[in-house]
Amino acid sequence: MESHVSSRSGLPCEPARCIADRWTCHGQQYLAGLISNFGVFCFGATMGWALFADQPSSESARTFIVGKSSRQWTNSLLPLGAACFCMPMGVMMKKHGSKGLMIFQLLPYTCGWLLVIFARNVYMVYVGRYLLGICGAALCVAVPVYNVEISQLKVRGLMGSMFYGAIVYGIVFANILEHFLGEQLVNIIVLSMALLNCSVKILPQSPAFYILHGKLGHARAALHWLHGNEAIDIEVLAAQMIMPTEIEEEHRHKYLCGQKYARLNVPRASVMLLLYQLSGGVIICGFLRDILLPFSSVFYKYEWIVWLAMILGHLICFLLIDRLGRRLILVLSAVFMFLASLYLCTWFQWLMHTKWNFQPLTALFLFIASFSFGMGPVSWILYVELIIEPSRALGCSFAATLGWLTASAMVFVYANNLYLQTVFYLMLLVCFVTLIFVVIFIPETQGLTSLQIQILLSHRSLGDTHSTDSSF
C-alpha cells in the first residue's frame, strides 16, 4: 500500500479517495448518524417535559409538583443525575465503546419514565427524573463521540451537529404532542419511543474504538459498513498511522507532544460546554414559557415562533458548518447573541411598560436562532474534536460533567427566582466572554485530523497537512 506523507511537515496525510457512488461512500454513515441520535431525540422529548403547561390532568405526575421547591427539584434533578454519572459513563465507554453506552441508556430511560408515569408521590417523580438524567449522561458522552468518529472529514461538522438538532426536535415534538393530547398519553408515547433505540444494534462500533483496542479486522468491517468497499484499506492504514506503535520515530515524537498538549484541551472542551449552558442551553430549553408568559396572554403564538427560531438556526448550521468552519460560525453566533441580548436588556430596563411587541420578540427570535446556529451545535462538535481519540472517553466525560453541573445549578437558581432582566444581563456578559474565548483559544478544526489538531494547538507548524478525507 502506498504511503502518503506531507513533504513539508512530515506528518501523515491521507490520499484522495476513489470517487464512488454517493450512497456507498456517504449514505451509510448518514444512516448511522440518524439511528445513533434516536436516543437523543427521545431525551430531548424528556427535556421538553419540563416545559409542559402548569395545569396537569388529575392522573398526571405533575399533580405532585406544587410550589417552587418541588418544581425546583424536579427540573434540577435531571441535569444533576447527568452530572453524577458522566464519569462512570466515560469509564464504561472506554471499555465497551459508544455503541454499548447507547444500548445501556435504554435501562435508565425506561425505568425513569415508568416511575414518572406511575408516580404516587413526588419522590417517585424525583427518582424518575434522576434516572432520566443518567440516560442523558450516557447519550451526551457516547453520541457526539460516535458521530464524529464514524464520519469523513468533509462531513464531520454536519454529522456532529445532529446531536444538538436531535435535542431541539425532541423538545419541539414533545410540546406539539402536549398541545393536542393529554399529558399522561404523551408520557406513554415518549416512553414507547425507546423501541426506536433498539435499532442501534444494527450499527457498527466506532472504528476508532476497534483500532485503539488493536482489533483492525473489526475496524475494517466497520469502515466497510460505513463507507463502502472503495476506501477500506486506505482508511485503516490512515487510522493506524496516528497510533504510536505504527508511526516512524519523527512522527512518534510529534504524536507524544500532541498527547502532552491534549491535557490542555480537556479544559478547552469543558469551557465550551460551560459557555453552552450559560449562554442559552438552560434558559432556552428550560424556561422559555417563563420568559413569554408574563408579557402576553397569547404567548403560545409566540412560543411557536421561538421553536421555529431554534429549528431554523440549526438547519442553517447543518448546511454551512462544513463550508464556513467552526470558528467563524461561533464568532457570528456570539456577536448576534450579544446584540440581541443588549437590546433585550435595554427593553427590560426602560421599555418594559410597553406591550410585548414585534421589536423585543424579534430580538428574542434572533438570540435563539443565533444560539441554535452556533453555540448550540458547535459546542458539542468541538467538545469531541479538541480531544484526541485515546483521551476522549474520560476527557469528554469530564467536560460533560462540568457542563451538567452548571446546568443543574442554573436550573435551581432560575426555578427559584427568575428575574428576566438579570437573565439577559448574564447572557450579555457570557456572549462577550464567549467571543473573546473563541478568538483566543479555539482553533479552526475543519478539515483537520485529530493528530493535526493536537500539533496545531501545541504551536507546531502543520505545513501542508490538510487532507481531503478521513474517518476520524
- 3-state SS class at 220: helix
Q: pLDDT at residue 317 above 90?
A: yes
Give residue 221's pLDDT.
Answer: 84
Please state, in angstroms and rounded to a whole number, the distance separating the CA atoms of residues 199 and 70: 36
Please state, in angstroms and rounded to a whole number, the distance separating the CA atoms of residues 225 and 204: 7
pTM: 0.84
Give residue 262's pLDDT.
Answer: 56
Residues 6+ apart with CB under 8 A from 359: 343, 347
Q: pLDDT at residue 469 above 90?
A: no
The pLDDT tens digits of the residues spanning 320-363 come to 999 999 999 999 999 999 999 898 888 877 766 666 677 888 88
Most confident range (mean pLDDT) of 194-203, 251-260, 341-350 is 194-203
The pLDDT tens digits of the residues spanning 77-102 come to 889 999 999 999 999 999 999 999 99
What's the CATH code, domain 22-203+242-457?
1.20.1250.20
User: For residues 454 and 162, which has the higher predicted lDDT (pLDDT)?
Assistant: 162
Give residue 462's pLDDT.
Answer: 41
Beta-bridge partner residues of 5? 12
Band the pLDDT of 36: cuts 50, 70, 90.
Answer: very high
Radius of gyration of the chain, Cα coordinates, nearest whole angstrom: 22
Identify the DSSP state of 206.
P
The pLDDT tens digits of the residues spanning 395-451 come to 999 999 999 999 888 877 776 666 666 777 888 899 999 999 999 989 898 888 887
The mean-pLDDT minimum among 189-203, 242-256, 303-317, 361-375 falls in 242-256
Q: How many helices (H) and strands (E) does the chain have?
A: 21, 0
Cβ(132)–Cβ(369) below 8 Å: no
Q: pLDDT at residue 263 above 50?
A: yes
Greatest alpha-carbon span in the chain: 73
- Tell whether the torsion through CA atoms of 48, 52, 56 and 62 is positive or negative: positive
Mean pLDDT of 371-379: 94
- SS3 for 438-471 is HHHHCCCCCCCCHHHHHHHHCCCCCCCCCCCCCC
Cβ(446)–Cβ(322) below 8 Å: yes
User: For residues 138 and 232, which has the higher predicted lDDT (pLDDT)?
Assistant: 138
Mean pLDDT of 254-261: 50
For the chain, what is the mean pLDDT? 78
Most confident range (mean pLDDT) of 288-302, 358-372, 442-456 is 358-372
Kindly tell me the burial class for residue 345, based on how many C-beta atoms sit within 10 Å of its own C-beta (0-12, 13-18, 19 or more): buried
Number of other CB atoms surrounding residue 248 within 10 Å: 12
Please state, in angstroms and rounded to a whole number, the distance separating the CA atoms of residues 360 and 305: 13
The cell for 89 is: 459513563
What percentage of the chain exceeds 90 in pLDDT?
Answer: 37
Residues 6+ apart with CB under 8 A from 98: 36, 142, 143, 145, 146, 149, 205, 206, 209
